[in-house]
Amino acid sequence: MSGLIGLDWGTSSLRAYWLDTAGEIRETRTRPWGIRHLPEGGFDAALADITAGWPQLPRLACGMVGSRQGWMEVPYMDLPADTAQLGSAVRSLRAHDGSDVHIVPGLRNPHSPDVIRGEETQLLGALALRPALIPDSSWIMPGTHSKWARVRDGAVTDFCTLMTGELFALLRQHSILCAGVGDAAASPDAFSRGVIAARDSGSAGGFSRLFSARALMLDGALAPDAVPEYLSGLLIGEELRSGLASNRFRHDAPLQLIGDAALCARYRLAAVHFDIDLVESLPDAAAHGLWQIACDIGLIGAGSSTAAKETSPC
């Protein structure tokens, strides 16, 4: 049987895809088993559980599973990198079930410095879904550590990391800004107010406006349960402001989105205040990227225990 089991294995979660001979997703499963939260039995047990009942197929993984804290460290590749270059650096390990797991490397930007793991595979999958963007496109991948990336001629040529999600969690849980706030309430007005505060912060930047969340609440201009929404807008707004100001990424054409649909929707709302267009997010980009890499290295149609180069039917 030909096909692929793709694994998007991050810090906090594991997502597995069963792809058929045409690269179509037959089934998707998710577990809360990132590399820091594994079940008893570790990586092998997590893999066995999430693929139980699926056919024995080649397995290709991306993400933090290839990091220093992962199952096996796969060294970063320097930019620029395309599908063929990533495929050439795939490394393999033998799982307890006797079959191999192949792991995609991450990318390193030597000019920043900066690194990504997993997003490079999402980008390649997104390009396969939208080939018109191969010549030149810019991408936003919201998350705990948001990534902005540039693609030229099918290769990732630049990226940067903005810790928007992690900063929000830290401020929400541990700062004076949310002390006594309690449960958050949905407030589009508070969110937009935060975005605009970041947009209009000028050379000082949005971080100079952080304490305004506390001051506005104490003045009675912002309801306590709306403070988290204001902070969310402020941080996402600052990400957009700084990303656009860097001039590293095109915004004379619609910026592309990859990520959780709900989170991407917040970015699209924020983008309205910057007069820029963000395209609807692409689902399952990682699965399609894993398929592209697997095709390139001959995994599709290959035996389950080796990564021998064979003619791929892709």
Instruction: Band the pLDDT of 283: cuts 50, 70, 90.
Output: confident
For the chain, helix, strand, coil in percent to 5 are: 40, 20, 40
Kindly provide the residue ranges of all beta strands, DSSP E only, lying in 42-166, ordered along the sequence.
59-62, 77-78, 91-94, 100-103, 107-109, 114-116, 136-141, 146-152, 155-162
> Which CATH code of 3.30.420.310, 3.90.110.10, 3.40.50.620, 3.10.20.600 fits the domain covering 162-272?
3.30.420.310
Q: Is the pLDDT of residue 92 over 80?
A: yes
Specify the pLDDT at position 185: 82
CATH 3.30.420.310 maps onto the chain at 162-272
CATH 3.30.420.300 maps onto the chain at 4-110+289-297
Going by C-beta distance under 8 Å and a sequence separation of 6 or more, which residues neighbour residue 259?
141, 142, 143, 281
Specify the pLDDT at position 308: 31
Q: Is the pLDDT of residue 24 over 90?
A: yes
Choose between 253 and 286: higher pLDDT: 286
Q: What is the mean pLDDT of residues 103-129?
A: 96
Specify the pLDDT at position 312: 39
- CATH architecture of the region 4-110+289-297: 2-Layer Sandwich (3.30)
Q: What is the mean pLDDT of residues 192-212?
A: 95
pTM (predicted TM-score):
0.90
Specify the pLDDT at position 109: 96
